[in-house]
Structure 1
Amino acid sequence: MKDDPRRRHVAAYPFRIELVPRFGDMDLNRHLNNVAVARFYEEARVRFHFSLHERPGLERFRVFIAHIAIDYLAEGNWPDPLEVGVGVVHVGGSSYRLGLGMFQRGACIGLCDSVLVHLGEGGSAPLPPLLRSALEGLRLRAE
C-alpha cells in the first residue's frame, strides 16, 4: 500500500469526499485518534458503495468486509477538514480491494486497504458483470 506512489496523490482517486473532524475525534495530544480515523475510512467506503447502489442494476448487491489494513503516515488535526479518496486496486472473481487515501491540507496522512467479498445466498458469490464493470471503471488512476 505505501509502496504505490499513486496512493499519496488525491487526484489518483476517482471517488472523493470531504469529511469534517469533530472535537471528540481528538486524543489527549490533540491529534485525530486512531478509532476516529478508522471511522472516517468507514464513512468514505460506505459512501462509495452507496454511489454504486445508485447505478441501474446495482441497487441490491451485498458485500462483507474480509480485511482492512490502515497505515498512519502523519498526524491528523482538528478542526481541519479531511479529503478521503477511494479507488479500486484489484478486482477478483468474488472479491475486490479498495484503496483509500486520507488527505489533510493537501498532504497524505494515511492509507487504507479494504477487501470486500460479494455475498450471495450461501456465502461468497462471483461478482455480477454489472458490478465488475462498475468497479473496473473506478480503478486508481495513473500519476
Structure 2
Amino acid sequence: MAKPDPALLDAARYPFSCQIEPRFGDLDVNMHINNVAMAGILEDARVRFFRTAGGLEHLAGLSTMVASIAIDYLGETHYPEAVTVHGAVERMGRTSQTVLQVVMQEGKPVVFARTVIVMVGPSGPAPLTEAYLESARQWMFRA
C-alpha cells in the first residue's frame, strides 16, 4: 500500500489538534496500540474537532453518521506515550464533509485517516447549515 501524499502528513497544515493518552488495555500482544483502539482514538478526536468547529452550536438537532472511513497505519504506536491527533476539513458538500486526521507520536506520523461524515435529520440526510459552513471554513486543511 502506498503512503499518503507527504503534504497530508504535515501537522502544520491542520488547524486542530488534541492530545490523547492511550490506555494499557489498548495494547495488542506485541505491545503496540491495536488497530481497534486506534480507530477509537480517531473517533474521540473527530468528536472533539466537531465540537470545536461549532458542530453542536450550528447543527443542533442533527446527528452525524460515518459514511466512509479509510485508516492507513504508517508506523507502530506505543504505550504510554500520548498521541497528538491533528484534524482538518478537506471538503464540504451539501449534506456531508470529509475530515482528514493525522496521528503523531513522538513527532512522527503513525496513522492517517480520511472520513466522510453525513449529517442526518429525522427524515434522512440533512444539509449542512450556512452558519456551520461559515464556521467550518477556518478549520479547512491548509494546502
| TM-score, scaled relative to structure 2 | 0.90
Rounded Cα–Cα distance in structure 2 between residues aligned with 1:59 and 1:18:
26
After TM superposition, which residue ranges in structure 1, 4 or more long, deviate above 6 angstroms?
none
Secondary structure of the 1:114 match is strand
8 Å Cα contact 2:67/2:118 also seen in 1: yes
8 Å Cα contact 1:13/1:140 also seen in 2: yes
8 Å Cα contact 1:91/1:136 also seen in 2: no
Given the superposition, is the C-alpha separation of residues 75 and 28 from structure 1 closer, same or farther in structure 2, using an over 3 Å criterion? same
The aligned residue for residue 103 of structure 2 is 102
Rounded Cα–Cα distance in structure 1 between residues aligned with 2:46 and 2:28:
23
Secondary structure of the 2:142 match is coil
Q: Shift of the alpha carbon at 1:27?
A: 0.7
8 Å Cα contact 2:66/2:118 also seen in 1: yes
After superposition, give the CA deviation of every residue in 1:14-46 in whole Å (9 maximum; x if it has no partner): 110001111111111111111111011011001
- Aligned-pair identity (%): 36
The aligned residue for residue 133 of structure 1 is 134
Aligned length: 142
8 Å Cα contact 1:6/1:141 also seen in 2: no
Q: In the alignment, does 2:26 pair up with 1:25?
A: yes
Q: Which runs of 5+ in 2 are unaligned?
A: none
| TM-score, scaled relative to structure 1 | 0.90
AA of the residue aligned to 1:74: G
Q: Which runs of 5+ in 1 are unaligned?
A: none
The aligned residue for residue 12 of structure 1 is 13
Matches within 5 A, 1:101-120: 101-120=102-121
Q: In the alignment, does 2:83 pair up with 1:82?
A: yes
